[in-house]
A and B are shown apart, each in its own frame.
Chain A
């Protein structure tokens, strides 16, 4: 479904991603795991096209800071040069890191804004589905999103991406800054929506422990380079992963 080949991203002369390739088949749950500054968010922004938009903006202003090599294909189509909204229309949707929500709108309005590309009836249906997936949100309906807790905001953010009805969902560090119990709730929700909505999902995380048991395949990156790949179980058993991510 998604194939990334020889991705090379520079911010000025700093390498953020170095010759990174990966592949996601339809229906799979794949993780890209790495520590801070490993290039996870750069990877997500490249796949979702945000980096192309930033680059367009810089060129308009008369500068060019980002250099991009390699290829991103989605369902066999080369999307490397597409703007983010064009990729979203094809079904590739990103949930950015640090629970991106519209803080001044209330919860339901956040979901409605997210349903921009969908029909009114679909929007209503999907809002119900989001409340089914995250029952906690139901009673916070009219609360201004900026006043919700981090975990609740993350739920809203994931709900917002579901509003778009994605084929491939990219989750950038969904567990960042959350308590262990909230992490568990979210991991359960990811598994649930994968089964119920038939989504293909790519997660980036630095907390490998809650993620590894649920994934089909994982890539581990360090300093923008692929260092290891394997199924969830293989990665869990690997001594390097244990040392770096489980502290054993």
Chain B
């Protein structure tokens, strides 16, 4: 029992981290809002399904195509919606959240609900850890999740583009006067974040059916992880994922599955009361100390 909680808690934590990475890249690290993130996630899943079942494209090609299309949609969201309201945070949030709502409810309207909307897992089978079965899909999730988290850390600390993401988040005018084209960099950031949402969706969705509601859950979880970890911090994302991941698993085991969703909401409230900048947050930390 304890072993199951530990192992599946770990998997659950990595899933949270995977879901939050794209959101953290766009909103946390680059300071550009993308609250259509949950919609991008669900959309990527449906795109794969449509490509496979309507156009008979093989799974891996469909998956790759879906990642590219979702990233493209992110870029389009930036150029056609975000660019006009850039710099006004509240407007950015409202505009992208509105786009997200439109995408999600469009899928609901078109009747994309039901048990036939599932994605295949990468490889079938499972391994035994101790006396617990763990299917290969979850092993894939853990592998890719760890790889992407480490990759993101190095990307934002050691590559020019990653450093530019952090630059435009802190002082746009200074970034501009150093030759960083802030509009283009911010657009790339939204596209990357959306692409990461698609990767997460393709890995995670085979565990169940694709549903419109998952879009809202994903957004809430991603937000919770980023706020608790502290906006802009990749280690924060990992630590927060494990805190929420295990908290959810324990709640699930001992209180019942219907309490699970409340964990991240309570966590957001608690952290905002105790330490608003988050566990590893850099944003606002300076103001708090002064």
User: Is B178 a contact of A164 with CB atoms below 8 Å?
Assistant: yes
From B57-65, B83-91, B96-104, give the one contacting chain A.
Answer: B83-91
Decide if B179 touches A113 in the complex (CB within 8 Å).
Answer: no
Query: Does A112 sit at the interface, judged by CB under 8 A?
Result: yes
Q: Interface size for chain A: under 10, 10 to 19, 20 to 34, or 35 or more residues?
A: 35 or more
| A50-B177 in contact (CB<8A) | yes
Contact: A113 with B173, CB < 8 Å? no
Closest beta carbon of chain A to B274's beta carbon, Å? 21
Q: How far is the CA of A10 from the CA of B41 in the complex (A)?
A: 46
A99-130 at interface with B (beta carbon < 8 Å): 100-105, 109, 112-117
Q: A102-B166, A102-B170 given as contacts; is B176 within 8 A of A61 (CB)?
A: no
Judged by a CB distance under 8 angstroms, whether A96 is at the interface is yes
Residues of A within 8 A of B83 (CB): 60
Proximity string of chain B (246-290) to chain A, C-beta cutoff 8 Å, 1 when within and 0 when not: 000000000000000000000000000000000000110110000
Task: Check A57 against B86 for contact (C-beta < 8 Å).
Answer: yes
* Interface membership of B167, Cβ < 8 A: yes
Q: For residue B173, which residues in chain A have a CB less than 8 angstroms away from its CB?
A: 50, 96, 100
Give the docked Cα–Cα distance between A69 and B177 (Å).
22
A3 to chain B, nearest CB (A): 20
Taking a contact as CB atoms under 8 Å apart, the answer to whether B84 and A60 are in contact is yes
Within 107-156 of A, Cβ neighbours of B (below 8 Å) are at 109, 112-117, 144, 146-147
What's the tally of chain B residues with a CB closer than 8 Å to chain A?
27
A144 to B286, CA, bound (A): 10
Q: Quick one: closest A residue to B290, CB to CB?
A: A146
Q: What residues of chain B lie closer than 8 Å to A223, measured between beta carbons?
A: none
**Quick one: given A96-B174, A100-B173, A101-B174, are A116 and B179 in contact (CB under 8 Å)?**
yes
Does the CB pair B87–A101 fall under 8 Å? no
Query: Which residues 87-119 of B sit at the A interface, judged by CB distance below 8 A?
Result: 87
CA distance A102 to B286 in the complex (A): 12
Residues of A contacting B54 in the complex (Cβ-Cβ under 8 angstroms): none
* A212 at interface by CB-CB < 8 Å: no
Say if the beta carbon of A21 comes within 8 Å of chain B: no
**A150-173 interface with B by 8 A CB criterion:** 160-161, 163-164
Q: Find the A residue at minimum CB distance from B233.
A: A104
Docked Cα-Cα span, A84 to B163, in Å, equals 19
Does any Cβ of B come within 8 Å of A55's Cβ? no
Q: Measured between alpha carbons, how far is A61 from B86 in the docked complex, in Å? A: 9
Whether the pair A146, B286 counts as a contact (CB closer than 8 A) is: yes
Given the interface pairs A50-B177, A88-B177, A88-B178, the reply to whether A113 lies near B163 with Cβ below 8 Å is: yes
| A:31-75 near B, CB below 8 Å | 48, 50, 53, 57, 60-61
User: Of residues 162 to 218 in B, which have CB atoms within 8 Å of A's CB atoms?
Assistant: 163-164, 166-167, 170-171, 173-181
Using CB atoms, name the residue of chain B closest to A109.
B163
B232 contact set on A, CB distance < 8 A: 104
Interface string of A171-195 (1 = CB under 8 A from B): 0000000000000000000000000
Q: Is A29 on the interface with B (CB-CB < 8 A)? A: no
Q: Are A57 and B87 in contact (CB under 8 A)?
A: yes
Q: Which residues of A have CB within 8 Å of B177?
A: 48, 50, 84, 88, 93-96, 100, 161
Which 9 A-B residue pairings sit nearest by Cβ, starting from the closest? A88-B179, A100-B174, A104-B282, A102-B170, A113-B167, A85-B181, A94-B177, A113-B163, A146-B286
A-B contact pairs, 18 of them (CB 8 A): A50-B176, A50-B177, A61-B84, A85-B176, A85-B179, A88-B177, A88-B178, A93-B177, A94-B177, A105-B166, A105-B170, A113-B167, A113-B178, A116-B167, A116-B180, A161-B177, A163-B178, A164-B179
Interface residues of B (CB under 8 A from A): 83-87, 157, 160, 163-164, 166-167, 170-171, 173-181, 232, 282-283, 285-286
